[in-house]
Amino acid sequence: MQGKILKGISGFYYVHIAESGIYECRAKGVFRQQKMKPLTGDLVEIAVINEAEKTGNVEKILPRKNELFRPAVANIDMALVIFAAASPQPNLNLLDRFLIRMRMQHMPVTICFNKMELLTEQQRTGLAQIYEGCGCPVLFTSAKYKEGMDTLRQALAGKTVAASGPSGVGKSSLINLLQPQALMETGEISRKIERGKQTTRHTQLIHIEGNSYIMDTPGFSSLFLPDMEKEELQQYYMEFAQYEPQCRFQGCSHISEPDCGVKDALAAGRIHPIRYENYKLLYEELKSRRKY
């Protein structure tokens, strides 16, 4: 039987089989035969040991489409990056860093601004405009008022998606709405049991419906810019590309050169100033990074 690993905990793998549910499996022999450890997200073949107790053994790991690190997970089709539209204020520099990382790994991203009810219609439009040209769809949700959920479901349909974003933005709350049986622990609950700020501690995949899965991950508060030359950064700001042919200098960094097509587009309001500002900040960061 073929299924998908939802999580692995100390040598046990929880494998979801579409027709029959979740099996608790060991992975005897797999490592020896394939020289690899099963990962969350792996498609595997299992042999059932006991149907009534829903136990089995992972016999084979099917070829991986991709592999992400931190969190370690295989076969992700899309990253859903969730930020709060407000409370906490979205850190757009952090969002840009995330987008760059994902593009480097050729991972498609959908941006979701949750807590949309905290913004006026006009503010939402303003926020969406910043990312209009970035190559990623932007959607808005409110887990609190169950708004935008149909659009979110459509974006996830048939995919295995990793939800990520800072702590407290509502990742677990949204997943609980998508799959009420998931019972992800949310900030509301952890406040009652007086834990620290971060509520979700483990990585696991949750089956939503059909062939849709979503992974809840612990929130992050900072991201190190991946190693690259500062000259490479502009390729991650997709909205710059169409204006580059108008730059006078080849290899223009769009920062201090004269006759720059990108800066002209910025002045004409065709490139968003917030994206450009973050480009400049990240460029400076790469420039000052120590080279070994």
Ligand X SMILES: Nc1nc2c(ncn2[C@@H]2O[C@H](COP(=O)(O)OP(=O)(O)OP(=O)(O)O)[C@@H](O)[C@H]2O)c(=O)[nH]1
Q: Which residue's CB is nearer to ligand X, number 219 or number 226?
A: 219
Contact of residue 204 among Zn ion, ligand X, Mg ion, none (CB under 5-8 Å per partner type): none
The two three-digit tokens of residue 126, written as one number: 């303003």
* Residues of span 142-201 touching Zn ion by CB under 5 A: none
Q: Is 56 annotated as a binding residue?
A: no
Q: Is 10 annotated as a binding residue?
A: no
Q: Is 136 annotated as a binding residue?
A: no
Q: Is 260 in the site for Zn ion (CB under 5 A)?
A: yes
CB-CB contact of 14 with 24 (8 Å) = yes
Contact of residue 170 among Zn ion, Mg ion, ligand X, none (CB under 5-8 Å per partner type): ligand X
Q: Is 167 annotated as a binding residue?
A: yes
The two three-digit tokens of residue 189, written as one number: 């609950």
Report the number of secondary-structure helices (H) and strands (E) in the chain: 8, 13
In sequence order, what DSSP letters do the residues of 144-163 get, joined into one string?
A: TTTBSHHHHHHHHTT-EEEE
Please give the Cα distance from 172 to 182 (Å, whole number). 9
Closest CA to 175 of 188, 193, 194, 162: 162
Could you say which of 57, 160, 164, 172 contacts Mg ion (CB under 5 A)?
Answer: 172
Q: Is 169 annotated as a binding residue?
A: yes
CB atoms within 10 A of CB 100: 20
Q: What's the Cα-to-Cα distance from 106 to each of 5, 45, 68, 78, 186, rounded to whole Å?
A: 23, 27, 11, 10, 30
Burial class for 54, CB neighbours closer than 10 Å (0-12, 13-18, 19+): middle
Question: In which residue are the tokens 């991650």 written?
Answer: 236
Could you say which of 262, 265, 271, 282 contacts Zn ion (CB under 5 A)?
Answer: 262
Contact of residue 247 among Zn ion, ligand X, Mg ion, none (CB under 5-8 Å per partner type): Zn ion
Q: Which residue's CB is nearer to Zn ion, number 254 or number 275?
A: 254
The contact set with ligand X (CB under 6 A) reads 114-115, 117-118, 142-144, 167-173, 186-188, 198-200, 218-219
Stretch that binds Zn ion, among 27-35, 132-140, 228-236, 240-248 (CB under 5 A): 240-248
SS3 47: strand
CB-CB contact of 210 with 179 (8 Å) = no
Contact of residue 53 among Zn ion, Mg ion, ligand X, none (CB under 5-8 Å per partner type): none
Q: Is 170 annotated as a binding residue?
A: yes
Q: Is 219 annotated as a binding residue?
A: no
Q: Is 252 in the site for Zn ion (CB under 5 A)?
A: yes
Q: What angle in degrees, to the nearest 10, is found between the helix axes of 171-178 and 149-156? A: 80
The pattern of x and - marking residues 197 through 216 that bind Mg ion according to CB under 5 A reads: --xx----------------
What residues form the annotated binding site for Zn(2+)? 247, 252, 254, 260
Which residue ranges make up the site for Zn ion (CB under 5 A)?
247, 252, 254, 260, 262
What residues form the annotated binding site for GTP? 165-173
Which residue ranges make up the site for Mg ion (CB under 5 A)?
171-172, 199-200
What residues form the annotated binding site? 165-173, 247, 252, 254, 260
